[in-house]
Amino acid sequence: MLIHKSHSKTDLIYLINELNIPVIFSHSDNKKSLHDKLKEIFKNSFEIKNKDNVYKIQNDIDLKSYLINQNPKKSLSVKEKNDLMSLCKNIIFYCKNNYDIEKSPYYDTEQQIKDDMDYIKQFGDIPSVRRCCRLMNLQLPQKNHYVPLISPQMKKKLSEKVSCSQVIYNKLKIKTMADNGGKPFIVKFD
């Protein structure tokens, strides 16, 4: 089995952890050693333990087809990504200058901006694209609502990031009289 070269070491480690694949690895392993370990695991029969995963992989056949094919997250070449980042910078410049098309040296018409937004919103895994969509949606005389397309892996990562940054201020802890040594207690709300 040949694993497609678009799968990076980080992607493979995330895949192994997400699916609970019985592969023993260390973070000092390189991409080739991870490839070899994954190929070795396919020689024996194994079961995907985490059926409810973001990759929608249910068995070893699904995993093989996922690894043989190009990584869906890596659809842009370096040149394409640079062009995309340039478009994002132009749109952010337009947004930061109060959505005034006359101040923008990059755009002449609103239609050019709409066309660029329609192109970049399909790459929602890139943070700059999400920022462009958020800034364009803040525009007051807005006719279009731009929603970036985000992969399930990135959605999970973003939701974990949000949940880790939440702070809980108020907390109610109830003790029974047995927990308080049999003594009565008073509840006060300040």
Question: How much is the pLDDT for 116?
Answer: 94
pLDDT for residue 5 is more than 90? no
Per-position DSSP letters for 9-28, written without gaps between them: HHHHHHHHHHHT------TT
Biggest distance spanned by C-alpha atoms of the chain: 78
Range 182-189 average pLDDT = 68
Q: pLDDT of 79-112, one tens digit each? A: 999 999 999 999 999 999 999 999 999 999 989 9
Question: How much is the pLDDT for 160?
Answer: 87
Q: How confident is the model at residue 187 (pLDDT cuts 50, 70, 90)?
A: low
| φ and ψ at residue 51, rounded to 5 degrees | -75, -25
Contact 46, 59 (CB under 8 A): no
Q: pLDDT of 119-174, one tens digit each? A: 999 999 999 999 999 999 988 666 678 999 888 888 888 888 888 877 777 766 66
Mean pLDDT of the chain: 84
Cα separation, 137 vs 144, whole angstroms: 8
Question: What percent of the chain is modeled with pLDDT above 70?
Answer: 86
Q: Residue 51, Cβ neighbours under 10 Å: how many?
A: 11
99: left (phi over 0), alpha (psi -120 to 50) or beta: left
Question: How much is the pLDDT for 135?
Answer: 93
Q: How confident is the model at residue 179 (pLDDT cuts 50, 70, 90)?
A: low
